[in-house]
Amino acid sequence: MIFFTEQDIDRLIEDDAPLGDLTSFSMGITGKQGAISLRARHEMVACCTEEAARVYARAGLSVLNCTPSGVKVAEGALLLEAQGDAMAIHTAWKAGSVLVEFASGIATRTRFLFDAARSVNPQTTLAGTRKHPPYLKKVAMKALMAGGGVPHRTGLSDTILIFREHLIFVGGMGNINQIILNLKQCQKEKKIVAEAHTTEEAVALAKAGADAIQVDKMSPRDFANCVRTCKSLSPEIKMLAAGGINPGNAREYAQGGADVLVSSWMYFAPPADITVEIRASE
């Protein structure tokens, strides 16, 4: 349950129609009643329909139907339906539909990537990075989770993830044993995750006691070897494949023993295709 504030909802309308729909106003569309419905143009995982419903309600419309986020719907399925004043429909229309299209696009891609990985390894999970479009953490995370993924990390403040760029300030990989020892002493409620670019680095990290290793941009074949080596050193260690994960290689990494696929590929999905129908009420 990702929480969108009133301000989050209001901004969608305000960004698109700060002074209303000038066309409707100039045409004198007022006092007319109508209805708006959003339908899926293709199979998709619905997302942010609840927020679009709030957008329509905030503009004064009555929401009649709303398919919950996370539901996979067939072509033609009704996603959202509302009715009320025609000028309100025009004012809020795209503020709502563009959000659903964007979020459902991400959710659908997430589900696709997730299913690909799971088809070969029922243990693999799919984690979405923090490299989503700027300002869009809530939408991206809601869509990720609606599609079957989990947040990799929500930002810098909630997990321990050692980059090579950290090490250069504290003695480098040569000092990794002490570094991880210190981190474990300081952060007892967190797993120590560290990034490796080579099997050699991964082995060093595994020996130093890392709880999980995020292997960056290694070929699926090398990754599989790296997993085997590290798990033989540390059976409980979690092995994460990151860097360029996409549907073309997800199965291979999953088969190679990836506990987690770490990806931002889904965030840049094209919007889902949605048909909007607006009708006048008699």
Q: Which stretch binds a copy of itself (CB under 8 A): 39-47, 188-196, 199-207, 249-257?
A: 188-196
By CB under 8 A, residue 181 contacts a copy of itself: no
By CB under 8 A, residue 170 contacts a copy of itself: yes
Q: Which stretch binds a copy of itself (CB under 8 A): 37-45, 186-194, 221-229, 248-256?
A: 186-194
**Residues 68-97 close enough to bind a copy of itself by CB under 8 A:** 85-88, 90-91, 93-95
Q: Are 256 and 231 in contact (CB under 8 A)?
A: no
Distance CA 193, CA 225 (A): 19
Total site size for a copy of itself, rule CB under 8 A:
101
Using DSSP, state whether 82 is helix, strand or coil: strand
**Residues 215-234 close enough to bind a copy of itself by CB under 8 A:** none
By CB under 8 A, residue 282 contacts a copy of itself: no
Q: Which stretch binds a copy of itself (CB under 8 A): 20-28, 75-83, 113-121, 221-229?
A: 20-28
Q: How many CB atoms lie within 10 A of CB 74?
A: 9
* Burial environment of residue 28 by CB neighbours within 10 A (0 to 12, 13 to 18, 19 or more): exposed
**Residues 129-158 close enough to bind a copy of itself by CB under 8 A:** 130-131, 133-139, 141, 145, 150-158
Among 42, 62, 119, 168, binds a copy of itself (CB under 8 A): 168
Q: What is the secondary structure of 116-182 as a DSSP string?
A: HHHHH-TT-EEEE-S-SSTT-HHHHHHHHHHTT-EES-SSTTS-EEE-HHHHTTTT-GGGHHHHHHH
By CB under 8 A, residue 235 contacts a copy of itself: no
Which CB, 33 or 229, lies closer to a copy of itself? 33
Distance CA 92, CA 100 (A): 13
By CB under 8 A, residue 197 contacts a copy of itself: no
- The C-alpha angle 80, 150, 176, rounded to 5 degrees, equals 160
By CB under 8 A, residue 279 contacts a copy of itself: yes
Which CB, 108 or 125, lies closer to a copy of itself? 125
Distance CA 142, CA 137 (A): 8
Distance CA 182, CA 205 (A): 14
By CB under 8 A, residue 123 contacts a copy of itself: yes
